[in-house]
Structure 1
Amino acid sequence: MSVIDWDDAFANMAYVENSHELPAFWAKRAAAYRAALASARLEQDIAYGNAERQKLDIIWPDGPVQGLAVFVHGGYWMRLDKSHWNDLAEGARARGWAVCIPSYTLTPDARIHQITAEIGAAITTAAGRAGGPICLAGHSAGGHLVSRMLCDDSPLPDAVRARVVHTLSISGLHDLRPLMHTKMNDTLHLDPPEATLESAVLHRPFGSSPLTCWVGGGERPEFLRQSQLMTMIWAGLDVPTHCRIDGMHNHFSVLDGLKDPDAAITAAFLGNPAIEGTST
């Protein structure tokens, strides 16, 4: 028996007041944002594959496109979709970036390694529609997925990988082995080979594209450990890394700054991480 209660270690919603109301709140907020956008600024349900959930949205800036910013949602690979998160595009969009938000097939209908491949296909599709540099961001399970794009077995084609100038993992999961000890694994179906394959901390990077791990100071200790672990290991592999502990934000409020073009987390998303209060 494990000496750590891993179910509790990953129980984000149990430690945030009224968290059961959040999914409906996110969906309503994102729908209001979509309704307020000019129709020319929002492309919805662009297919990047044949499966039902293999679709992405692109939110376009008002002027010339500075580059492509991709945000991958979380939900432990088990829940939610792109429609909950469109409003988080506004910070990057207001700074001139085209913002891609993909959905992906959820477990147990797909294994996690298959979801990783889907995100590679989504980014590749979006990269064919928006030129310039590419910045990646993902939250929680999405942090895992964007970090996997930087690994030595990245599903991204060489031409797309070469355009990735920065990756922001927000409260990301980089060591998946503890998840095998949780009740969630009844849905995730992680086994030792896949947990090893899908743990970015156990990979070498494909190059030296910078990585920032951003985590709220009020999150579960396991999420702070995961962020610190990833930055420490990859710093030793010649990747420019930062670990930013953001005040006392919880696992969900840590995202709110992405709606603000002047927020530090938006700057980090677009490749300019503030280094104050970080470790390397």
Structure 2
Amino acid sequence: MPELPDLSDEYANAAHIPGGADFLPRWTVQAAAFRDALGDRAVLGQPYGPGPRDWFDLFMPAARARGTLVFIHGGYWRAFDPRLWSAFASGALARGWAVAMPCHTLAPDARLSAITTQIARAVDAIALVQPGPLVLTGHSAGGHLVARLACTDVALAAAPRVARVLPISPLSDLRPLMQCDFNADLRLDAAEAARESPALRTPRAGIDAHVWVGSAERPAFRDQARWLGTAWNAPVTEDPGRHHFNVIDGLADPGSALLRAALAGL
């Protein structure tokens, strides 16, 4: 049987983006400044379970919230926590929405199936303290996780309140990731890769899903977005000129096409 090709470079991003190494330091500075400026409207480290990464940050608008946008961060399920992306809450806040950013255990300390269950618990906990509709969005691995919450096989008590799911640059079919070097941490096998792939699962009836991806992203990510849109009969928007790191910039702009897609009509 021929050896399968190594797909690690196809799913690498920073090395293929001009100035790719500069994004994380810039986001870190912007996030800290945003939290400081928000003062007591930044409610940090709210627990949703007993584990050290069972917490979420909640950012509140100046007036009563119209609903809550839940954003789940990327990092191939292996890196970071949501504090890096705090400033991206600013666009939804300006539109009168609260924003919640949950943390989760990282691989290899947890398998993807456990992370999916953990994020479902986080969203249920957020729903208990936040009234109104929920919009679930996430980037890259976070896009995968919000798409998983929209699948019928994931227990989510808050599902009836989810008004929209907007995966950004999601990983929707995990089988190719078994051919990447970072699978040493993920430990995906064929059964788990298929079970945790939103593009291979059944979406909840009537789910309002919209898939978003940058037109300048790696072909593998554009494929992943297209696969999910096709499987779910959901619209797929290719944001012109956007790569994997700046495709989320619209979350910080209250007038952006990305936020209109997330919050329109709600």
- TM-score by length of structure 2 reads 0.96
Contact 1:218 1:250 in 2 (8 A): yes
User: 2:235 corresponds to which letter in structure 1?
Assistant: H
Contact 1:140 1:170 in 2 (8 A): yes
Is 1:76 aligned to residue 76 of structure 2?
yes
The residue aligned with 2:238 is 245
Could you report, residue by residue, the CA deviation over 1:126-171 in whole angstroms, capped at 9, with x for unpaired residues? 11111111100000000000000110112311xx100111111100
- Provide structure 1 residue ranges, at least 5 long, that are not aligned to the other structure: 236-240, 274-280
Task: Quote the sequence identity (%).
Answer: 41
Q: 1:177 pairs with 149, 153, 175, which one? A: 175
The residue aligned with 1:231 is 229
Could you report, residue by residue, the CA deviation over 1:162-189 in whole angstroms, capped at 9, with x for unpaired residues? 0111111100000000000110101111
The residue aligned with 2:117 is 117
1:95-244 maps to which residues of 2 (within 5 A)?
Answer: 95-157=95-157, 160-235=158-233, 241-244=234-237
Could you report, residue by residue, the CA deviation over 1:22-78 in whole angstroms, capped at 9, with x for unpaired residues? 222211110011011131x11000011111111100100111210111000000001
Contact 2:169 2:212 in 1 (8 A): yes
Cα distance in 1 between the residues matched to 2:120 and 2:252: 25
Contact 2:147 2:167 in 1 (8 A): yes
- What is the deviation of 1:271? 4.5
The residue aligned with 1:8 is 9
Could you report, residue by residue, the CA deviation over 1:95-130 in whole angstroms, capped at 9, with x for unpaired residues? 111110011100000001111011101111111111
User: 1:97 corresponds to which letter in structure 2?
Assistant: W
Could you report, residue by residue, the CA deviation over 1:184-228 in whole angstroms, capped at 9, with x for unpaired residues? 101111111110110001111121111111000110001111111
Q: Secondary structure at the match of 2:210?
A: strand
- What is the deviation of 1:9? 1.1
Change (3 A) 1:36 1:251: same
Moved over 3 A (4+): 1-5
Cα distance in 2 between the residues matched to 1:71 and 1:93: 13
Contact 1:167 1:271 in 2 (8 A): no
The residue aligned with 1:238 is none
Between 2-11 and 225-234, the greater mean CA deviation after superposition: 2-11
Cα distance in 2 between the residues matched to 1:62 and 1:117: 32
User: 1:223 corresponds to which letter in structure 2?
Assistant: F
- TM-score by length of structure 1 reads 0.92
Aligned residues: CA RMSD: 1.4
- What is the deviation of 1:13? 1.1
Cα distance in 2 between the residues matched to 1:45 and 1:232: 37
Cα distance in 2 between the residues matched to 1:193 and 1:5: 20
The residue aligned with 1:277 is none
Contact 1:165 1:271 in 2 (8 A): no
The residue aligned with 1:56 is 56
Between the two proteins, the alignment pairs up a number of residues equal to 265
Q: Secondary structure at the match of 2:165?
A: strand
Cα distance in 2 between the residues matched to 1:136 and 1:38: 25
